[in-house]
Structure 1
Amino acid sequence: MPPLTHPIVMPAALFFLIRRLPLLSLALLAPALSSCKTAKSVVASVSMTPSPFLTHGKDLKEERERSPFLGNWWTPDKKLQAAADSKTQIYISPVRIDAVRPMKNYLAKVEFSDKRRQAKLEDLAEYAHKRFVKAFKEAKHPRYEVVDAPSKDAMTLDLHILEWEPNALTGFIARETIDLLTFPAVGDLIWKPVRASTAIEGRFIEPKSKKPVYEFADKEEAKTLIIIPLQEAYPTGQARYAIREWARQLELVLHKEPHKKPKDSSPIQLWGF
């Protein structure tokens, strides 16, 4: 048999997938991770402190049986809850960004001026409002009818983007380079402090009393994506992904009889857009 005169070249896509096989195994454990009480607060090492926007911010607790969010508070007032339960409409107010905390990500600080960040935040607030409205309007088993203005017959959902660390392009390139030179996810671990993250808080208001019956707060960091990490390839990618997830989750949390249990997603996923 004559010797080979040409080296066997592995296709780049195949090489990429083979290197990420260990992460693929972890992704298959996603259901277990997402159902675990500490999937976010321990595995992903995510924590947050709510702002004075929430009346009961100090009383927020993680209750994985009822909600996927890091912090939750439900009113103990049965009369107030009964009044809220009688409402079948919801008004979702414009998402606030007036008290967003300063950036801590040093790479993002280099890439984003205050003016650029503010412009992106305004876009995110508008996007978030649209996605929450969409989630309630298009729910498979809707609990509320979405209305365009506050009224005595409509619960009000107030939302506030509390933190936003945008995707830094330099960080994304550095992480992917480290992964290629070492092992998948090594870049994510080394560069964890400069990964994108977004935090949100919200309150659900009974119209007559103007008091909240539910408050929540949550924070999401960029997922570890196995196949195509497009979520981190542009500034608002992680934030938009988190917003869509929050909208779907909150619709289930506020449902009196949700058709399925609201769950958090795994920090390791095949892909995310």
Structure 2
Amino acid sequence: MDNNARLSSTRPQRGRFAVVGIVALAVVMTACTAGSTPHGEFARDKQILASCDRSAPPASDIQIDGTGSSNSPAITEERMAAVEQIVRTTAICSGRVRMSVFSGSSAATATLFDGALPLHSATDNARLKRVQTVVDDAMVRIRDAYEPAVAGLKGKGSDITAQYRLAGEWANQVGGDFRLHLYLFTDGFQNVGVKLGQQAVSKQEAAELASKTNVPKLPGASVTVAGLGRVAGEPPRSDVVEGLVVYYDALCDKAGAAKCVSVTDYAPEGR
């Protein structure tokens, strides 16, 4: 299996899971570029609006691993492109966004953005016409704060699982009217507490590790872990990435989330 292949386990009872290869990802990104005219973007925004769950707007918690193993200019730009799409969807659906970077513990976390994305207007069309301005304003704040925040992270190592607890705490703070959407952009190589080095682990070993990992219950949440195996240097073997996918799917399942996606590359659904 190609190291760049998108990997995901499938659990039908949890809903539909994205399983997209690198070729499909390229098609998606090309389609986005080709249809990036104002009219095309407006049409896609209307499709997103039609799919919004208006009874439970998204509380989108975006956590980026700021440790050096996956901190390259190319990976950072990929992540920022994904963040912008998440911010856009969240704004259209009248949600909230929190964007943070982290390293070796829950204390070694810096928040870049936390707030609502208001599109106050009398009609849906008027609201959608304000989307780009709201997204641009949020992304300027996020991009300006990103590099200083990463440089200021304290401690060594990467404590990815600690972010589940922080996400649960934030979801409680914003209240039950919102639905938590947790996005973890990380290479997946946890090395604080649970050790997930660049060696292959079997499905059974990964599941056993997840069973011993403390995570909060996140009922109703959507959890996406993206970038697994994406490192600044030589990529890991496919069997190593497969073990990471199994581990993070099992961890999400233990948290009781409604939807779990663990992949090498992030692509927004419906794009």
Smaller-chain TM-score bracket: under 0.3
Q: Which has the larger radius of gyration?
A: 1
TM-score, length-scaled by structure 1: 0.25
TM-score, length-scaled by structure 2: 0.25
